[in-house]
Structure 1
Amino acid sequence: MTSTVWWNRMVGEFVREAGSVEPTPGGGSVAALAAALGAAMASMASRLSQGEAFASFQTSIGETLETMNRLTRACEELLEADIRAFEEYMRALKLPKESEEEREARRTAIDEAAMGATGVPLRLVQVCLDGLRNAERIAGCCNKHVVSDLGIGALLFEASAQSAGLTVRINLRSLRNADLRAQYERQMTAMLQEAESLKTQVLRTVHSRIAGH
């Protein structure tokens, strides 16, 4: 069962710890929280787009709400997973390196920990993409009174994706396998480009609806 030690703490406590000298929670966990807040905004926009006035859009609205619930749970898991991955990486760095055998074992442990620390933020980028795709799906039909909140959700999703991308890039430096580094880099770049494009599409619709077009 996934630990929710950090997820269940008060926001103020999380913010204080994130700003302290302690290494966790760090950027990856903060990005996961931002994505969860993005999902919350999209959830609210969906919940307030129920009823007869939105009857013809209920399939899209309902599926988006279901997706946001799933993404919120994923953010909870990824927030905790990022902390565990970083702690595993720090443990690998502290392994002995006196002999050649110890150095090789340490190097292998660092590689494995770096892959884990890279995989977590990559999964977060995918979560953000899912959120943005669904936000784009309902941007034109959700309740106009909360369309700005949906736009805020899109901004948070994209900011989270870009933030997770920075975490991926710094962790990739620890991988010895150049081909694997390049593969991760290509995958991340394509995902971030899509995230930026989706955010732009959502905001274009949001601004248009706010203007009454």
Structure 2
Amino acid sequence: MSHDNSAENPKNIDRANNAVSWDNSIRLFLQQAGSSSPTPGGGSVAAIVAALGASMTSMVGNLSQGDKFAAIHERIAEIIGRMNRLTGEYEQLLHADISSFNAYLEALKLPKNTEEEKTLRRAALHEAALHAIEVPLRLMESCRDGLAEAASIAEECNKNVISDLGIGVILFEAAAQSALLTVEINLASFKDEERKRSFEQKVSALTQEIGELKIRALEVTRKRIAGDMA
């Protein structure tokens, strides 16, 4: 979601009128995402992809049960619960992305005839821009958390579904990279230079951590696929 487009852009107006339900069918979601309507947009798609990463990780956990995996039983149970909670977070972030865009549109509609009105409008636009950065940043953080959980069981989970864990890792990272682009395009026009630098530092650290987690988890995944590890 970018705030660089003008208020006159009809896609901006349409987006505010298209709520996305978490309960939509996959077919309907794909139709909506591929239509001329910008909702669901990149933020919604990134949240869905992150949820798919959580689903893959949870599936691997559910298939790593029984006596053979007794040593990691408690850890697996924690991860399954964590994936369920993360999925709930991704749903909230999907709706938060749309809400922040709606708030931006409402701020654009505010009058600007007097100096007082202009001041109020600038403040509302700044607040909306702030949320447009914070929402995808929160998605990045949640994807980092999901990646860390997946990486933590890569060596000991059921080898028969290790490729599925790797897919979950890739999906988490892809969702994080997608959220990163949304953060970047909104930061580009953000006026608060001090806060902008703070966001940039946080994004840089998150991006590095996410990249390292992905590399480590996929190295283990491929070694187990090749038979180099049990």
**Matches of 1:79 and 1:6, distance apart in 2:** 9
How do 1:48-197 residues align onto structure 2 when only pairs under 5 Å count? 48-197=63-212
Which consecutive segments of 4 or more residues in structure 1 shift more than 3 A?
none
- Alignment match, 1:202: 217
Figure out how many residues of one structure are paired with residues of the other and give that number.
Answer: 210
Secondary structure in 1 matching 2:151: helix
CA deviation after TM superposition for structure 1 residue 98, in Å: 3.0
Q: Residues 93 and 135 of structure 2 are in contact (CA less than 8 Å); yes or no, is this contact kept in structure 1?
A: yes
Give per-residue Cα distances to partners, 1:65-88, cap 9 Å, x unaligned.
111111011111111111111111
Secondary structure in 2 matching 1:205: helix
CA deviation after TM superposition for structure 1 residue 23, in Å: 2.8
Secondary structure in 1 matching 2:132: helix
Sort the Cα spacing of 1:23 and 1:102 in 2 relative to 1 into closer, same or farther, 3 A: farther
Give per-residue Cα distances to partners, 1:55-114, cap 9 Å, x unaligned.
111122111111111101111111111111111112212322233322222111110001
- The two structures, once aligned, show a CA RMSD in angstroms of 1.3
Instruction: Give TM-score scaled by structure 2 length.
Output: 0.87
Give per-residue Cα distances to partners, 1:138-182, cap 9 Å, x unaligned.
000010010000000000000111111111111223422100011
Sort the Cα spacing of 1:177 and 1:170 in 2 relative to 1 into closer, same or farther, 3 A: same
State the one-letter code of the partner of 1:80: H
Aligned partner of 2:59 among 25, 44, 49 = 44
- Alignment match, 2:41: 26
**Matches of 2:25 and 2:74, distance apart in 1:** 35
Listed as ranges, the gaps of 5+ residues in structure 1 are none
Identity %: 52
Secondary structure in 1 matching 2:39: coil
**Matches of 2:94 and 2:169, distance apart in 1:** 19
CA deviation after TM superposition for structure 1 residue 14, in Å: 1.4
Q: Which is further off, 36-45 or 96-105? A: 96-105
State the one-letter code of the partner of 2:30: V
